Chain A
């Protein structure tokens, strides 16, 4: 996890460097009084690299993904909850011997 976190930080740094380069390029163009159409090629490459690194970190850092399929092995419904609102108490368990030690003290 730590290396993914480091990759994420590195990706963010690359993105901020690309931002700074673009701003610098734009002020440079203003001096030359030319139109600003798009950042230079190497800034675009840097942006794509930063995107890939941040994407990797965003997927790897938070942790294990849980399954969302309702029929997957861990999500499939095995039994219904016992209908506790309609529970009745005169079942055959009444005839079973009771544990005499069961007492609520204090």
Chain B
């Protein structure tokens, strides 16, 4: 999870290394810890360390982790020769290693040799059939080939065994959303919220899915989850604030015929609108007029 202060630190370090200041190793460690995907920067700066033998020897045992990080970044940036060299160096140091075998499989995937990659992964699985990461690589291979139904099937089988893997639940939810199977996606997000209730972004995604599904009950539940997101982020999440406004308006349109019993919802609506206005005034003052116009139109309609 990337916290606000960690994001600030990451951006600061990124600016620093891009402009030639030091701190490359701290930047690479922070990227590894936060698990963000900055492959082009990691490749450029990681190579600058690896090509300089003095800096490399200063790292000691950590240089192999750096080799792995740079190999993955190179595969992501499609610089396959760099990746091949890194993997060769790792193989010399750690022969018969499962992690290096995984990297080779990823390289084959990136080259597009799906059958060879599949063979490599199956042979690694023969020695150890409980390796989670290799199962996940096979699923992502199915996804990369465009075979989404096979990916879904593979993920369901994987989740039958490893029910606590929230990365897999998240992946499954995103695949379902891309296929517009919102009810199944809602189920996956419910699992995520159950296992990690303090991450506000899962609440937000769940509320989004419910809002998309529509219907009075779903909209009411979506409003509750948008409110939960605002609570967990200290009121700073713009998307959740918008979510509350839109939910209130959609509910108002659906309940137009009946009596409006809940007066407290209009308080929530106006509070959210006020906070949005203040936030825009602070961060994007030239767009405040757009905001007030949109919200005003929606309220009147």
Q: Which residues of A contact B (CB under 8 A)?
A: 69-90, 93-94, 96, 98-99, 102-106
Contact = CB atoms under 8 A, between A and B. Distances in A.
A85 B5 CA distance: 25
A61 B81 CA distance: 54
A104 B71 CA distance: 10
Given A70-B232, A76-B234, A89-B78, 11 more contacts: A69-B234, A73-B4, A73-B234, A76-B233, A86-B136, A86-B140, A87-B72, A88-B109, A88-B141, A89-B109, A98-B78
Given A75-B3, A77-B2, A87-B140, A104 B85 contact: yes
B233 A90 contact: no
B26 interface: no
A77 B136 contact: no
B37 A84 contact: yes
Contacts of A86: 136, 139-140, 143, 167-168, 171
Q: Which 8 A-B pairs have the closest CB atoms?
A: A81-B35, A71-B234, A74-B5, A82-B37, A88-B144, A89-B110, A104-B85, A85-B136
A7 B70 CA distance: 51
Contacts of A89: 75-76, 78, 106, 109-110, 144
| B interface majority secondary structure | helix
A84 B39 CA distance: 11
Interface residues of B, number: 54
Contacts of A102: 43-44, 47, 74, 79, 82
Nearest to A105: B51
Contacts of B85: 103-104
Nearest to A72: B234
